[in-house]
Structure 1
């Protein structure tokens, strides 16, 4: 995470010293004239004194030099002209072409080539004003603060300093640059007591060391504890990663990040994107927790898979690649080639496997696959393989609510070609209910007729599909079969034992975000660990056997 150094604090102390000096000049009238002036003129009628040539005097312990000066004793006004120089104990020097201050109104103004420097910084501007009554010092026509030995520099068109509150404001075309950061913003506020830096308006922060770029329209950073917040279309760009949201908060020391509202995390290397309305990330543990409209989006060469859940929890490896991802409650999967629902899901980055738990259902074209547990294998382009374990069932609807082609068994492997199901391999109590169809053309249309229903039972079978329709069937180990005419099909034979049809819950599109959100709080640490351990235990109990794709 980004870490601001103490440069801003040093600039604040430097400016404080400048305006403390000017404020002292406006505080009292007692001036000690030092020897060396070429000429002294006293005007009793207008009650002023005029010094000309090599003017030197001492005021409140500060030395002041100029070519000429006017002193109005009655009004407490001083005018200094040409090569004005104020020195404070050899630690602070102020230069300008002319200076005016009034101890009665407590106002001062410096004109022309105003330069102030101490042992570290210098300020350059055209004019500078100070109003002690209002507690404000201002430059209005462009100012530059530069480190004398390093490249640190801050420029702005307008600068304000309020000594009572120790607040600094820089406005219009504010640019800060040093060895680590380049910051461009419209308005910047700094409080030297609290060591807080605030941004207002369009802001861009570039961290040079790791090429991190931060964008926002409002934000703050606390240099005392390295905590910050970026608001309004906030974005953090790192090599290969984008983090965006309405509000982004972080704690640099603990590497804790929080995103609120339209959060988006995009990894261009893995082609994975997370979205939610709330995100909690722990950089030290390499974990992400997303809730409230949480999405994981896997971009593939020819398809995109969306996984939506109440909560997503992801763990990354040392290369910031997803090691595991867990989705909890009301999980929905959508892609153009397949869709799915389940109660919870895990994803393994090492083998690109999706494991669907608790009442999982998977759809491809007009086929529905469901069972006790489903595993989905993807490649760079499409879904490649699906394994259904426990009460495995494949269903395709023929007539709504009337007839369904069905395949059931103890276990089932579905193989996909170009994202379409083309082979079902069923093992254990394999059963199929299939309605053969015959197409006949007449003068106006193609008429589909069904003569009956085939029922086949064996210990193992393979079904070959094309465009969702069965085009071939292989049975093993003494299959048994019976054919029923359409009018003679027993009612109890129309559906397999574990038949279920879930077309009403099939995802039809990736749901998009809404702005109505209730922001949750991060799960307590012990809750996160308990949830993670429970899920890992479930995964160990339901180990997925290896499979072969040689049948393809």
Structure 2
């Protein structure tokens, strides 16, 4: 018996000769059979078979067969492996390597699953640190909870804090959205996903692209710390940093903000931007710039602040702005800023008419119209533009001024301007003379080519126009005063004039014209103030994309893949005659 190196026994419980249970040692609770091998160094290895149960630090481990290395406090388990830690975590697999001193469990198999109360982790290999509660899978894994399915190549899951970290080909699928990235930290309790690599979120509301940020997968609230783009069917919002609430459709962007409205080809740029999707309200400030397509041309506008407001069709009549001005309403009401205070449902935003508003220090440039004013409102419903607070407008060779101007566009072309209070129209002719009209109210009509066609003056009308013959030689100057008058233009020249009431006028021949006679009171030709596109870009700190430069040597260079003609091929392939 003293020479025996192996002991075998069959029992449902461990023999009384085995050491007593200890929290520090892996302890065998039961098995159908057990054999003990004594190694030359005196250490003991136990082989237990069928209905095997071990306990260590309050955790239970089950299997069909186990090799228990007593001295190293390690365990190898095979077949129907199961770890139960308290009433929260369960791990199942085919094979287990457990190191009792560090409490690290390595579980492998065709399907290895770790479950807690609300989620499960599945892979072909899971390493579970039972001391810290952190599970790690080095192979492709999947995490499931009530709402989300997450897959990645590598992952860490903290069963205590419920915080997970995932790497490589990370994909989070939710009924409302799909998130893909390369690195993701996800908190299963707060439902917040943090990412620091290129990330895309796709939902029915649109697409979000970012590199660094936090996303609440339950509420849709998000914070993006690097340049981010939010794209949906109605708009695209881009900024160096963005906060966005997907439920309320509210967003705030900072740093090189670009807001693109897809409905009307309008782009807003600025340093800061606010967007409210449910109310259809956008605001951009800090070097703001608006670009919108009007009649195959681009209208550029800059101001201290730019607004875009979508409003229900039944809340704004075609002449609402004019009524607001006529009734001496406040500027905020006239500008339409108060309309954004009414809460709207998402369905109300579909195909709404829109107001584009420039507030304070406005500059406008379009190929056939330039303006400088305090504020303006553009109504997409009727294509009207209202200029506030002593605006000045240049169109072609004409300069128009008043306290307020309403410009009406038909098919996106300027057709009529209504000048209200202290109205003044100046037109420079080919002889560098200035035809002038002023009065309390002026209505100016334009033809299809945006040339001045007719001017109707009401109230204290005054005019100066220069006459020329068919050879374009000066004939003299007419100076007329009348309560009401209509001036008809042809080829930028006064063609005919009609008066209502008794006019008071005089004709002055060229030699009798004095400098003081050539100007009405208040005349000021302010052509140097006319904004250019470059000036607007400079004020908005905007740098347009440069056009590609074509080298002179490549202008006439044929395409590389151009097919040679048959004649050229014959010439190139024709054999040369050899000299005898």
Q: What TM-score do the two structures reach when normalised by structure 2?
A: 0.73
**SS of the residue 2:528 aligns to:** helix
Q: Corresponding residue for 1:81?
A: 78
The alignment partner of 2:72 has SS state of coil
For residues 378 and 91 of structure 2, the distance between their equivalents in structure 1, rounded to whole angstroms, comes to 65
Matched residues in 2 for 1:434 and 1:199: separation? 70
- Residues 429, 460 of structure 1: 8 Å contact kept: yes
**Corresponding residue to 2:513 among 481, 485, 489:** 489
Structural mapping, 1:43-192, within 5 Å: 43-45=38-40, 47-54=43-50, 56-59=52-55, 60-88=57-85, 92-113=89-110, 114-118=112-116, 121-130=119-128, 137-147=135-145, 152-161=148-157, 167-192=163-188
Q: Does residue 463 of structure 1 match 2:487?
A: yes
Total equivalences in the alignment:
477
1:329-370, CA deviations, whole angstroms, 9 ceiling, x for partnerless residues?
101122222111111223445544322121201111111111
The 3 A distance-change label for structure 1 pair 99 and 412 is same
Q: For residues 40 and 33 of structure 1, do their structure 2 counterparts lie closer, same or farther at Cα, with a shift above 3 Å needed? A: farther
2:434 is matched with 404
More strand by share: 1
**1:303-329: CA deviations, max 9, x gaps?**
333332102344433423355554321
User: CA separation of 1:391/1:90 partners in 2, compared to 1, >3 Å: closer, same or farther?
Assistant: closer
How far did residue 288 of structure 1 move? 3.4
> Contact 1:137–1:160 (CA<8 Å) still a contact in 2?
yes
Q: Which structure 2 residues correspond to residues 350-389 of structure 1 after superposition, within 5 A?
A: 350-389=381-420
CA contact (8 A) 2:31 2:48 kept: no
Is the 1:337–1:419 Cα contact (8 Å) retained in structure 2?
no
Deviates more, 1:257-266 or 1:112-121: 112-121
Q: Closer, same or farther in 2 for the Cα pair 1:305/1:228, shift >3 Å? A: same
2:444 match: 414
Instruction: Give the 3 Å change call, closer, same or farther, for CA 491–254 of structure 1 in structure 2.
Output: same
Distance 1:289 1:42, change over 3 A: same
Whole-Å Cα distance in 1 between the matches of residues 490 and 381 of structure 2?
Answer: 31
Q: 1:202 to 1:471 in 2, by over 3 A?
A: farther
Bigger radius of gyration among the two: 2
Deviations 1:424-453 (A, max 9, x none): 22223333322334576xxxxxxx643443
Which of 37, 43, 49 pairs up with 1:42? 37
Distance (Å, rounded) in 1 between the aligned partners of 2:487 and 2:40: 118
Q: In 2, are the aligned partners of 1:261 and 1:515 still within 8 Å (CA)?
A: no
5 Å matches for 1:172-321?
172-192=168-188, 195-208=191-204, 211-222=205-216, 227-251=221-245, 256-282=250-276, 287-317=281-311, 318=344, 319-320=348-349, 321=352
Distance in 1, matches of 2:241 and 2:106, equals: 42
1:195 and 1:329 map into 2 onto residues whose CA distance is 43
Sort the Cα spacing of 1:118 and 1:190 in 2 relative to 1 into closer, same or farther, 3 A: closer
* Structure 1 Cα separation of the partners of residues 127 and 411 of structure 2: 65
Aligned pair in 2 of structure 1 residues 391, 436: CA closer, same or farther (>3 Å)? same
Change in Cα spacing, 1:165 to 1:86, as seen in structure 2 (3 Å) is closer
Matched-pair contact (CA < 8 Å) for 1:303–1:381: no
How much has 1:131 moved relative to structure 2? 5.6
> 1:56–1:63: 8 Å Cα contact kept in structure 2?
no
Could you tell me whether the CA contact under 8 Å between 1:391 and 1:498 is conserved in 2? no
Q: Which residue of 2 aligns with 1:477?
A: 501
Conserved in 1, the CA contact under 8 Å of 2:26 and 2:54? no
Deviation per residue, 1:374-393 (Å, 9 max, x gap): 11122342223211112211
Give me the whole-angstrom Cα distance separating, in 1, the residues matched to 2:102 and 2:58. 22
Question: Aligned to 1:239, what secondary structure does the other structure show?
Answer: coil
Say whether residues 1:30 and 2:10 are aligned partners.
no
Q: Which deviates more, 94-103 or 216-225?
A: 216-225
Consecutive unaligned residues of structure 1, counting only runs of 5 or more, are 1-26, 441-447, 517-552
Instruction: Write the distance in 1 (CA, Å) between the matches of 2:449 and 2:173.
Output: 52
Report the counterpart of residue 575 of structure 2 in structure 1: none
Hey, what does 2:328 align to over in structure 1?
none
Greater RCO (CA < 8 Å, at least 6 residues apart): 1
Q: Is the 8 A contact 2:32 2:48 kept in 1?
A: no
In 2, the alpha carbon distance for the partners of 1:468 and 1:205 equals 57
CA distance in 1, matches of 2:148, 2:92: 21
Going from structure 1 to structure 2, the CA distance change for 1:430 and 1:111 (only over 3 Å counts) comes to same
The one of 507, 516, 524 equivalent to 2:531 is: 507
Distance of 1:141 and 1:250 partners within structure 2: 34
Query: Is the Cα contact below 8 Å between 2:409 and 2:416 reproduced in 1?
Result: yes
Measure, in 2, the Cα distance between the counterparts of 1:290 and 1:120.
Answer: 44
1:430 aligns with 2:430: no
What RMSD in Å do the two structures reach over aligned CA positions? 3.4
Closer, same or farther: CA 80–437 of 1 in aligned 2, 3 Å = farther
Change (3 A) 1:416 1:50: farther
Contact 2:429–2:492, Cα closer than 8 Å, also in 1: no
Alpha-carbon spacing, 1:383–1:48, altered in 2? closer, same or farther (3 Å): farther
Contact 1:384–1:419 (CA under 8 A) maintained in structure 2: no
Structure 2 Cα separation of the partners of residues 419 and 48 of structure 1: 103
Task: Give distance in 2, aligned partners of 1:61 and 1:181.
Answer: 40
Residues 432/93 of structure 1: CA separation in 2 closer, same or farther (3 Å cut): same
Equivalent-residue separation in structure 1 for 2:103 and 2:542 (angstroms): 52
Give secondary structure in 2 for the equivalent of 1:248.
strand
5+ residue gaps, structure 2, are 1-22, 312-343, 544-580
